[in-house]
Amino acid sequence: MKIHSVDVFIVDLPTVRPHQLAMHTIVTQTIVVARLKDDEGREGWSEVATIGGASYGESTPEAIKVNIDRYITPIVIGKEPVHFDKIMYEVSKHVRGNYFAKALIEAAIIDLAARAKEVPAYELFGGKIHSSLPVAWTLASGDTEKDIEEAKELLGQRRHNIFKLKIGKGDPNKNVEHVLKINSAVGNEARITVDVNQAWDEDTANYCIAALQDGGISMVEQPLPTWNHEGMARLTSRFRVPIMADEAANTVQDVFQIAKHRAGNSIALKVCKAGGLTQTKKVAAIAEGSGLGLYGGTMIESSLGTAICAQLYSTLPELKFGTELFGPLLFKDNLTLNNITYENFEIVIPDGPGFGMEVDKEKLKHYTRE
Ligand SMILES: [Mg+2]
């Protein structure tokens, strides 16, 4: 069984409400979908998401597609999917960086390999340890009363009891006040965390984190720009509230340096930024070996990409901060015939074959860019 063809689709999927980050507000999320076919007619599918073109990271959807079509596809054609580590090693020798493109192609190869064996993809990574994982929700209306109302409603539905607030945009003092009001309203029943998405300088981080820590906030994500490892290390030693690296924690090399210099005491995993599932497991091993807490992060993938991340995260022994795999709940529509299940504050890990999602080809066609 050999890989016969690779097709890459750029898809724009509308969200149910604007989703505000420091660098971009998502109203339509651009995702990239790959389809691999083998010479026996089987299909393997995968997805990575991007945020705001080039505003969140260096991998744009257009670059992901062109780099796969031009440079990666010729390397994978004719190869046996079950040898995905060997294939990706060969890709790494010819293609530098391009982690999102590598993650996309590797996941499609793994989906194909698992489907050929008629097993869930997590079985190729030692099997799942967890059948479900805690899942955070992001409160992002920007209005304190609305956010409190939404949090209470989701607590009542037993959908989420971890809430993240994106506070990189606007006046830091007002944002801190907003977070603390939400924490006093629902903090007894829920854990409140914040994500600054690199927006503060160290002075701002010092007074804002002091206030957040005193107010009982349970984690502060990427307060400083990715380059400021020394500043992150100072914040980590200064405060007892956990400081998480996200945009700074991509590859195994990045995470080793973060662990070595304690530039954060926890990291957010993302399959796309590490360059694939195998690499994400290696990143998790570095964190485990150095005592960094883990968080199962998202780039806000739809159901297919969420299933890929969820299956991989389910094979990790401990995710101290749970996951934020809420992506499918933010979209108006779905590219798969089945969907992800959320219950009892957790995401249920989809079972196979492959990553367990069946692509809705009509929907894919409808949302694919011309
Ligand atoms: Mg983040």
Q: What percent of the chain has pLDDT over 70?
A: 100
Q: For residue 2, indicate whether it is catalytic.
A: no
CA distance 215 to 184: 8
CA distance 198 to 209: 14
- Six token digits for residue 293: 């807490």
pLDDT tens per residue, range 264-275: 999 999 999 999
Between residues 358 and 140, the one the model is more confident about:
358
pLDDT tens per residue, range 288-329: 999 999 999 999 999 999 999 999 999 999 999 999 999 999
Q: What percent of the chain has pLDDT over 90?
A: 93
Set out the domains of the chain in order of their start, with CATH numbers. Answer: 3-118+360-367 (3.30.390.10), 124-348 (3.20.20.120)
32-36, 167-171, 263-267: range with lowest mean pLDDT: 167-171
Q: Which of 93, 99, 104, 95 is nearest to 58 (CA)?
A: 99
pTM value is: 0.97
Q: Average pLDDT, stretch 44-48?
A: 98
Q: Distance, CA 361 to ligand 1 centroid (Å)?
A: 31
Q: Distance, CA 19 to ligand 1 centroid (Å)?
A: 13
Question: Which 8-state DSSP code applies to residue 157?
Answer: T
The pLDDT value recorded for residue 118 is 97
21-35, 36-50, 282-296, 355-369: range with lowest mean pLDDT: 21-35
Cα angle 137-143-149, degrees, rounded to a multiple of 5: 60
Q: Distance, CA 195 to ligand 1 centroid (Å)?
A: 6
> In which residue are the tokens 């689709």 written?
9
Q: Distance, CA 362 to ligand 1 centroid (Å)?
A: 32
Identify the three-state secondary structure at position 23: coil
**Per-residue pLDDT band at 53 (split at 50, 70, 90):** confident
Average pLDDT, the chain: 96
Q: Distance, CA 135 to ligand 1 centroid (Å)?
A: 14
Between residues 251 and 352, the one the model is more confident about:
251
Burial class (CB within 10 angstroms; exposed 0-12, middle 13-18, buried 19+) of 50: buried
Catalytic site residue from 65, 166, 270, 273: 166
Q: Distance, CA 221 to ligand 1 centroid (Å)?
A: 6
The pLDDT value recorded for residue 25 is 87
pLDDT tens per residue, range 65-84: 999 999 999 999 999 999 99
User: Where do the DSSP E strands lie in the chain?
Assistant: 3-20, 25-38, 43-50, 132-134, 137-139, 162-166, 191-195, 219-221, 243-245, 266-269, 293-296, 342-343, 346-348
pLDDT tens per residue, range 226-240: 999 999 999 999 999
* Number of residues that make up the chain: 370
* pLDDT > 90? residue 141: no
The pLDDT value recorded for residue 18 is 85
CA distance 123 to 171: 47
Task: State the CB neighbour count (10 A cutoff) for residue 337.
Answer: 13
Cα–chain center distance at 68: 21
Q: How far is CA 198 from CA 155, 246, 308, 325, in A?
A: 29, 9, 26, 21
* pLDDT > 90? residue 19: no
pLDDT tens per residue, range 332-354: 999 999 999 999 999 999 998 99
* pLDDT > 90? residue 140: no
The pLDDT value recorded for residue 23 is 82
> Can you give the three-state secondary structure of 102-115, one letter per residue?
HHHHHHHHHHHHHH
Cα angle 362-367-368, degrees, rounded to a multiple of 5: 95
The pLDDT value recorded for residue 99 is 97
* pLDDT > 90? residue 160: yes
Between residues 140 and 44, the one the model is more confident about:
44
